Homo-oligomer: A and B are copies of this chain.
Amino acid sequence: MDNSSDSINRVKVKINGEYYYLKGTAPAEHIEKLAAYVDEKVTFVGENYPRLSTVNVTILAALLITEDLFQLKQEYEEFLDTFDAKRKDL
C-alpha cells in the first residue's frame, strides 16, 4: 500500500488528565475521537475504582473497550448469519 501521499497529523489530546501528542495519517478529528473514547473509559474506571494504580486503571479500561469490541463483533456476526440465512430463503 502506498501511503507516501498521506500527510502525518500530529494531534494534542488529553487522556486521564495528561496531554499526549498522537501522530497518524488518520484525520485529526478521528484521532481526537479515539482519544475521547479512551479518556471516557479511563475516567469511568478511575472514578469507580479509586484505589487502583494508574496502570491498572488503564488496563481495566482497555479490557472494557475490548468488551465493547467483542460485543459489536458478535452482533455483527449474528446479523451476517441472519442475513445469510435470509439469502438462502430467496
- Beta-carbon contact of A66 and B65 below 8 Å: yes
Total chain A interface residues with beta-carbon distance under 8 A:
33
Interface check A81, CB cutoff 8 A: no
Q: Which residues of A contact B (CB under 8 A)?
A: 15-16, 20, 22, 30, 33-35, 37-38, 41-42, 54-56, 58-59, 61-63, 65-70, 72-73, 75-76, 79-80, 83
Bound-complex Cα distance A68 to B58 (A): 17
CB within 8 Å for A35 and B63 given contacts A68-B69, A72-B73, A73-B72: yes
9 further A-B pairs in the complex, CB-CB below 8 A; given A34-B67, A37-B69, A38-B59 = A38-B66, A42-B59, A58-B59, A62-B62, A62-B65, A65-B65, A65-B66, A65-B69, A72-B73
Closest to A31 in B: B63
Bound-complex Cα distance A16 to B72 (A): 25
